């Protein structure tokens, strides 16, 4: 896939531990390109970028650069990196399902899946490099969807780098669901570096609001943040109406 000149570079916030690539790895790389198939990785060409926080740990926040494969209309599989350049580190995975598929899950399983409507309607989630009309069509597919996300490596943020190797248990991630939940420095730094106008995206995606349904998990971390503001289209399925 050719680089898209419209996409801003966002390098990893850390340098991974270990010696620099040696000659034998260089030879291996060349041989792999010529002789080995990369079939399982083909199709991971949908790029979306946003912000994540850990479930139950509101201070653990970071950028999440997703490279996704559309399996079908109800399922996407994503590899998550801490940047979008060649030195980016693989920090996790995310599975995305439609609201219809989510409804078929066992009740105890649903607690692992975070809602996506805030990411869509706040303008926080973007598909860098896509024309706005195409990006809006992609976001339409994500309305009412859910994600199950595990991070295996916390490399930190671009203002405060984290671990230089993946350590400890995998962390279940969650979504932001109100304005003011994401750290303001993290949010503005990310948007400025990526050339994202979230206000313009929010205004454009207002046309999708009639599609929005209440979602499970919107209020899961409500009490972990203060001074937040609700966003139209983002309502907890269990909230009184």
Model pLDDT for residues 16-35, shown as the tens digit of each residue: 777 665 555 555 555 555 55
Domain ranges of the chain: 62-224
Q: Is the pLDDT of residue 2 over 50?
A: no
Higher pLDDT, 28 or 47: 47
Higher pLDDT, 133 or 105: 105
Higher pLDDT, 180 or 33: 180
**What is the pLDDT at residue 21?**
57
Q: Is the pLDDT of residue 155 over 90?
A: yes
Kindly give, in sequence order, each residue whose CB lies less than 8 Å from that of residue 188, ignoring residues fewer than 6 positions away. Answer: none
Higher pLDDT, 15 or 228: 228
Residue located via tokens 């207002």: 206
Q: Residue 227, Cβ neighbours under 10 Å: how many?
A: 8
56: region left, alpha or beta (phi > 0 left; psi from -120 to 50 alpha):
left
Kindly give, in sequence order, each residue whose CB lies less than 8 Å from that of residue 128, ignoring residues fewer than 6 positions away. Answer: 4, 6, 7, 8, 47, 49, 84, 194, 195, 196
């Amino acid at each position: 896939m050719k680089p898209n000149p419209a996409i801003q570079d966002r390098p990893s916030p850390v340098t991974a531990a270990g010696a620099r690539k040696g000659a034998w790895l260089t030879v291996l790389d060349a041989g792999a390109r010529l002789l080995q198939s990369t079939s399982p990785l083909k199709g991971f060409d949908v790029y979306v970028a946003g912000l994540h926080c850990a479930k139950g740990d509101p201070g653990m926040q970071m950028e999440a650069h997703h490279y996704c494969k559309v399996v079908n209309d109800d399922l996407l599989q994503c590899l998550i990196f801490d940047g979008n350049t060649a030195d980016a580190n693989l920090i996790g995975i995310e599975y995305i399902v439609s609201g219809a598929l989510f409804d078929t899950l066992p009740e105890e399983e649903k607690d692992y899946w975070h809602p996506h409507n805030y990411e869509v309607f706040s303008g926080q989630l973007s598909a860098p490099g896509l024309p706005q009309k195409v990006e809006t069509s992609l976001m339409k597919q994500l309305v009412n969807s859910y994600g199950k996300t595990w991070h295996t490596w916390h490399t930190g943020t671009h203002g405060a780098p984290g671990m230089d190797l993946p350590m400890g248990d995998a962390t279940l991630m969650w979504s932001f669901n109100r304005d003011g939940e994401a750290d303001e420095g993290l949010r503005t730094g990310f948007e400025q570096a990526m050339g994202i106008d979230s206000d313009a995206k929010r205004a454009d995606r207002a046309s999708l609001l009639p599609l929005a349904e209440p979602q499970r998990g919107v209020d899961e971390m409500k009490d972990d943040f203060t001074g937040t503001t609700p966003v139209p289209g983002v309502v907890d399925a269990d909230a009184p109406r």
